[in-house]
Amino acid sequence: MNRNNVMVMGKTIPTQLMYLTLFGYAGLQKFMNFSATSTHFSTLFKDTFVPSLPGGMGLQVGFIAGVEVLIALMFLVSLIRKEFLPGACRVWIILGLILSSLLFIHLGIGQRLIGDYPSAATTFFYFGFTQVLLYLACEPSK
């Protein structure tokens, strides 16, 4: 295995594993504790328009949890398809990073709505880092 192959795998496998565990755990936790999570978010968003949306907070929590699990599945598929190998087509990792970016935007808007500015700032950094990883994933490997 040459140096280039190690570098490609070294930047791809950790990304796949990090996003798989980050979103997989978060999404499954929301589904497993759906009632408590919905109640918690209802309390956080009680002074905003979000609870008055169709489906209320339950739909919002379900949507976020569903997208998180979907992202985790995209990274799992990426691992199974061995998208970490040099020259591999990285469709699933790229789709996972794009969907992650969109979810970070959604989460950041929610954090701003409730006035949780430190968390919104942190989410902005997650978004930015995801964009850097997306750039690297789209970079052709040899």
Average pLDDT, the chain: 91
Confidence label for 4 from pLDDT (cuts 50, 70 and 90): low
Query: From CA 2, how far away is CA 85, in angstroms rounded?
Result: 12
Q: What is the pLDDT of residue 1?
A: 63
Q: What is the pLDDT of residue 137?
A: 87
Long-range contacts of 37-43 (CB under 8 A, 24+ apart): 37/61, 37/65
Q: What is the pLDDT of residue 55?
A: 87
Could you report the per-residue pLDDT of 69-96, keeping only the tens digit for each?
Answer: 999 999 999 999 999 888 888 999 999 9
Domain boundaries, the chain: 3-138
User: Taking a C-beta distance cutoff of 8 angstroms, is the pair 123, 107 a contact?
Assistant: yes
Q: What is the pLDDT of residue 5?
A: 67
pTM of the model: 0.89
Q: What is the pLDDT of residue 32?
A: 94
